[in-house]
Chain A
Amino acid sequence: MRPTSRAAVLAATFVLIFSVAACGSNDPGAGASGAATGSPPAPGGSPAGSDGASPAGDISGELRVWGMGNEGALLGALADAFETEYPDVTVNVTPVDWGQAVAKLQTAIGGGETPDVSQMGTDMMGQFIETGALEPVPSSVDPSVYFESAWNTGVVDGTAYAVPWYVETRLLYYRTDIAEAAGITAAPTNWDELKAAATAMQEQGGAEWGISLGTKNWQEYMPFVWSNGGAVMNDAGEFALNSPEAIEALTYYDSFFEEGLSPTAVPEGFDITPAFVTGTHPMFVSGPWHLGLVAEAGGADIEGNWAIALHPGKDGAPGTSFLGGSNFVVFTDSPNKDAAWAWAEFVSRPESQILWYEEATVLPAVQAAWDDPALGDDENLALFGEQLSSTSTQPAIPTWSEIASSLNDQLERVTAGDASPEDGAQAMQDAASGIGTGR
């Protein structure tokens, strides 16, 4: 292909294609100053709108909702309930595979084909807020209804772009029988006790390892930094990954690998569940989904021989654990924002949250929902609920994916013994500073 003239022609085609697409997308300029079209009813169920006419009457038309993976499939239950409340609305649910969700959302935004509402992982927020495709949450939505960390996952520069839907946090799972054999009668509550428990379980409890910690998973490492008073970024907005608190936490984290308490070479696709059930790895940190998995995998053999505990803090429980989950976002290009915000309000009602919990076994992001006996009566879940008030998570910056990847790389080097905690923390800081916050 001869470069010059043909490239010019084709470059013109490129320009043409993009301009057609840009013109094709709805309202590129609307919604800029954060003014939502129509205000949704305040969460809590009372349809008191400030624009006079009953909002339930205004909510009509088609509502396109994207849900991820399994949840997309189950979303029908919520959709049905929503349609009962707002009979003039037809909800159209599209499930999207988690693995490709980011790519699909990106292309949708690029091509101007976004839905009205979409589920979005809490760790995806920073990126998509940056695209400018998300509509800011109207002021009528009350943040205090949700767990603080969950709300903050969608906040950038003081503006919120997402409504929390469900959350998850991580607790310590441990084998009570192995602990007892090792002379441990109570769950570890602080760093010293955690280390002692792991050592004892390995030496006297008959387990091959003391605990299973992620060799390259920042989500397992950062809670120790947070519990020590450290953070990813300081108040001035600079990275603080090499702070004394971070180094101390990293040294502590690394000590499990140094002392042979946690395996350093974990094959990809390694599943902790069977290992926990067998007893080779008597402790691990994970979210609520493992409650069912462990019970199912272990069956009768494991019943009564395991328990969960609050994430150990530096000096006492609870420490600060990792928070994840999913939010709902509304797109600025949506032609039916009224219905979209009505949806956000609807799923935030405690009844809807409980309905969803029963459907998908995920934890409500709305604090009031936890008063419901469905959750309160379950001891294990109550513990998760307790931990939820002491969590933190990644900052909502657009470059987080890249930074997380570097963090994991450096963490891997430290846990493998190729770098000291001081060097590792410094490398993390350098990598993060080099990548920048992207804002």
Chain B
Amino acid sequence: MAGSGRAVKRPAAGAGVAAIEPTPAFAGGVRATASDRGGAQRNLVGWLFALPFVLIFTIFLAGPIVAALVLSFTDFGLRDLRNPLGTDFIGLDNYVELFGDATFWQSLFNTAYFVVVGVPLTLTVGLAAAVALDRGIDRFRTAFRVGYYLPVVTSIVAIAVVWRYVLNPDVGLVNMALGAVGIDGPNWLANPTLAMPAIIAMGVWRNLGFAMVVFLAGLQTIPRSLYEAAAIDGAGRWQSFRHITLPMLRPTILFMVVITTIGYLQLFEEPFVMTDGGPLDRTLSVSMYMYRQGFEFFHQGYAAAIAYVLFLLVAIVAFVQFRLLKPQA
């Protein structure tokens, strides 16, 4: 925690959601205690707790996940649907072809664009909304919370209709607002450069409710007494936000960064419904391209390869994020 000008009372170890530096007495958690019951027992208990998830995973998820991987090494297509075992193994050909596929690289760029801009925006606004609705105001809290969460629950069909209207070059709200200050608004969704920002705006708008809800939950676990103590010490709102809220929320923020990034890397619905990947493939996401190859062009093997490249990408990004943002243990 960065030092501040004023002495702000540090939260005691273990309080709230944050994994603060443990005081020596608790270092290593269970392991260090005297009532240690032995490794074997712990293993059994641990695995028993894990059993439901592992069962479900093994039966229902493992097979298809691996099957998809194997698929990516084949040229599975229309002819193979009724005779899957007869499909031809082509080794890494799909991946090699992917490497030279310009549309794939475009989709990768589009998706990266969406993530790099969208994640910070979504989380910042979501956090701001959560903080504001937690302590900033006292009245109408429920109404605000429900309202901000509405886009998350509204069907994408309705959202698409409204957003298309909002972005309509002639009668849309955005361009009317711009016109009021003398700017001639462009045709957002038909403009190759502006379509993606429009999609990003829509994505942020749609998902910040989700971030808000998770941050709200995280905020609850910060003890009020900390804020009171800080107020007594004379800290202002911004200071207590910076030195209490943010650090205590750090694990939640990390969690949300990872989850949101993983989700955004799999961007699909917004461009699918709004622009069908256009104009000129400038809003085509990797997920959309994969769907198109698999279910419109029937190159299931190729699509599986795209899926695994995406998977690899997500794994790498998540790993890097963990490394960078993890609290020092």
Contact A13 B85 (CB under 8 A): no
The 4 closest A-B pairs by CB, nearest first: A10-B66, A130-B78, A402-B297, A265-B190
Interface residues of B (CB under 8 A from A): 62-63, 66-67, 69-70, 78-79, 81-85, 160-161, 164, 167-169, 187, 189-191, 274-276, 278-281, 292, 295-298
**Cβ-closest chain B residue relative to A132:** B82
Contact B81 A133 (CB under 8 A): yes
Interface status of A266 (Cβ within 8 A of chain B): yes
Q: How far is the CB of A97 from chain B (nearest CB, A)?
A: 12
- Interface SS, A side: helix
In the assembly, what is the distance between CA of A238 and CA of B169, in Å? Answer: 43
Interface status of A94 (Cβ within 8 A of chain B): no
Known: A110-B82, A128-B78, A269-B164. 16 other contacts (CB 8 A): A7-B66, A10-B62, A10-B66, A13-B62, A14-B63, A22-B85, A106-B298, A112-B82, A216-B278, A266-B190, A268-B164, A268-B274, A268-B276, A269-B274, A402-B296, A409-B280
In the assembly, what is the distance between CA of A14 and CA of B70, in Å? Answer: 8
Contact A268 B275 (CB under 8 A): yes
Contact A131 B85 (CB under 8 A): no
In the assembly, what is the distance between CA of A266 and CA of B190, in Å? Answer: 7
Which residues of chain A are within 8 angstroms of B79 by Cβ–Cβ distance? 130-132
In the assembly, what is the distance between CA of A15 and CA of B74, in Å? Answer: 14
In the assembly, what is the distance between CA of A131 and CA of B280, in Å? Answer: 31
Q: How large is the interface on A (under 10, 10 to 19, 20 to 34, 35 or more residues)?
A: 35 or more
In the assembly, what is the distance between CA of A401 and CA of B298, in Å? Answer: 9
Which residues of chain A are within 8 angstroms of B69 by Cβ–Cβ distance? 7
Contact B297 A401 (CB under 8 A): yes
Interface status of A36 (Cβ within 8 A of chain B): no
Contacts known (A110-B84, A398-B298, A412-B280); A11 close to B78, Cβ less than 8 A: no
Interface residues of A in 127-160 (CB under 8 A from B): 127-128, 130-133
**Cβ-closest chain B residue relative to A100:** B295
In the assembly, what is the distance between CA of A127 and CA of B191, in Å? Answer: 33
In the assembly, what is the distance between CA of A335 and CA of B258, in Å? Answer: 50
Which residues of chain A are within 8 angstroms of B295 by Cβ–Cβ distance? 102-103, 106
Interface residues of A in 261-290 (CB under 8 A from B): 265-269
26 contacts between A and B (CB under 8 A): A7-B69, A15-B85, A18-B84, A22-B84, A28-B82, A28-B83, A102-B295, A102-B296, A109-B82, A110-B84, A128-B78, A131-B81, A132-B79, A133-B81, A265-B190, A265-B191, A267-B168, A267-B189, A268-B189, A268-B274, A269-B160, A399-B297, A401-B298, A402-B296, A405-B292, A405-B296
